[in-house]
Structure 1
Amino acid sequence: MRQMKPNRRQIFTVGAAAAAATVATSTQNASAAAEFAASTTSTTGPYGSGVLGSWTGATRAISTPAQIQRTRDTNGVFMFGDSISVQDGKSLAIRLLNRDGSQLAVHNWSSRPTSGAVDALQQWASTYGLPRRILMASGSNDIFDPPKFAAQVARAVSIVGQNRILYWVNIQVVRKSVTSTVQLADQRNSSWLNMQLYDAQEKYPNLRIVRWAEWLWVKPYRLLNYLRDGVHPTVPLGQDARNELIVQSLVQR
């Protein structure tokens, strides 16, 4: 059964509390998020989180054509993600294979916004065809320009079609390496992106949300213990927790 969509007051109330908890301890736990939007400029930009710079030269993890074809032929999972997935993708592949024998093929690229991830989805759909399950683990880099996100979600749904399931991991970003004012903008923009996902789920019955943000919010200490820089999961604690949420969603067919 699909979970109920949180209302907007709940999203902003819990999100604000999450941001406050993170801001309060950020000076004690600050670390540079080098993989996350490495070329972001110093300006806060129009939405308070900064401006995303060039990402095309950032680190990436992309499966070989042979692995992509094997995953499609065995009806495994195609994954499109950002730097979180570059870090966690291998561990996720092992967990998924051990759980139900599914192969995972990945197109993960650090600092990439969702528009680039959907471009990759379109390329794989045209070149290889798609399996029944598609996983989008993208959105963290869209905090810099939230209004464009909904259109990319709609694009992804259109590419996947009605006979496949599109899984989407939602977003929690409050970078420890920025000022408290920018951290509050990060949380506000994360909640804005998540609301767009929830709204899309009302329109598209084959869109399923992996609720990573809510899992972190429900116990605020998780924001400190499960995220090493306010974005990327700690290893192995946060990595295992996030990957388990993903696998649980993928195997509930």
Structure 2
Amino acid sequence: MRKSVSSMKPNRRQIFTAGAAVAASTVAVSTVTATEASAADAGPYGSGVLGSWSTATRAISTAAQIQRTRETNGVYMFGDSISVQDGKALATRLLGRDGSQLAVHNWSSRPTSGAVDALQQWATTYGLPRRILMASGSNDIFDPPKFAAQVDRAMSIVGSTRTLYWVNIQVVRTSVTATMQLADQRNSSWLNMQLYDAQEKYPNLRIIRWAEWLWVKPYRLLNYLRDGVHPTVPLGQDARNELIVQALTQR
């Protein structure tokens, strides 16, 4: 694969400018024709309100797999529905690349607060390897102001001697109205800004720039995402997983 844009470190103005451009282009090609959502439906930040996720689909490694991953210094992964879809393929790719085991705690529709709760539980129960992967944030578009505190929580759990890798966020749902799509992109950029701010505080936080990889060539938003959120399979899945594996195995 060609060199990714994961080494780019955009400033805040670049993030907002790119986010606005992506939102405009995504809305322009959208086929959404539904009546605009009411203010109540849009929630306080324009993207709606997150529903209950406790019974949503999930993929969680067994205790034996978690212990094996910890003992061999593999990778713990905490993610949402994107990771439920892509986690098995990621594990295969990572194992083939450097022999690392992957233990996952992926849960659809889960916000980052729940992912960090799971990280804390595993840290207490099993201990942590030197690499932790957070692939969470897509469901935080509904309440962006709470995200930074969860990043801080995760960094506190991981400590300063391990590396936390975080896949950043790109959400513009094609199933919602144009107004909500604009809110989705604005909120995605807001969440990513909080990640970039956190990186200034935590030298051991590594951001995997999935959003920028999509933005840099706008056609990717259509070809690599099937609904504005989840990667297409295999094209988008392979691209996202490759960015992740490159970051995890970089020396």
> Does TM-score exceed 0.5, indicating one fold?
yes
Partner of 2:125: 127
Q: Deviations over 1:40-88 (max 9, x none)?
A: x971000000000110000000000000000000000000000000000
Partner of 2:19: 15
Q: Say whether 1:51 aligns with 2:49.
A: yes
Q: 1:78 aligns with which of 51, 76, 79?
A: 76
> Residue 67 of structure 1: SS of its match in structure 2?
helix
CA distance in 1 between counterparts of 2:76 and 2:40 reads 35
> 1:234-249, aligned counterparts within 5 Å?
234-249=232-247
Aligned residues with identical type, % of pairs: 87
CA distance in 2 between counterparts of 1:106 and 1:143 reads 23
- Change in 2 beyond 3 A, CA 1:42/1:88: farther
Q: 2:147 aligns with which of 146, 149, 172?
A: 149
Alignment RMSD: 1.6
Q: Deviations over 1:95-116 (max 9, x none)?
A: 0000000000000000000000
> 1:1-253, aligned counterparts within 5 Å?
3=7, 5-27=9-31, 43-253=41-251
Q: Deviations over 1:145-199 (max 9, x none)?
A: 0000000000000000000000000000000000000000000000000000000
Q: How many Å apart are 1:118 and its aligned residue?
A: 0.1
In structure 2, give the amino acid aligned to 1:27.
T
Q: TM-score, normalised by structure 2?
A: 0.94
> Residue 143 of structure 1: SS of its match in structure 2?
helix
- Change in 2 beyond 3 A, CA 1:69/1:113: same
In structure 1, give the amino acid aligned to 2:199.
Q
Structure 1: gaps (5+ residues): 31-40
In structure 1, give the amino acid aligned to 2:16.
F
Q: TM-score, normalised by structure 1?
A: 0.93
> Which deviates the most, 17-26 or 72-81?
17-26
Structure 2: gaps (5+ residues): 1-5
In structure 1, give the amino acid aligned to 2:44.
P
CA distance in 2 between counterparts of 1:155 and 1:210 reads 19
Q: Deviations over 1:194-222 (max 9, x none)?
A: 00000000000000000000000000000
> Residue 211 of structure 2: SS of its match in structure 1?
helix
CA distance in 1 between counterparts of 2:171 and 2:45 reads 14
In structure 2, give the amino acid aligned to 1:8.
R
> Residue 162 of structure 1: SS of its match in structure 2?
coil
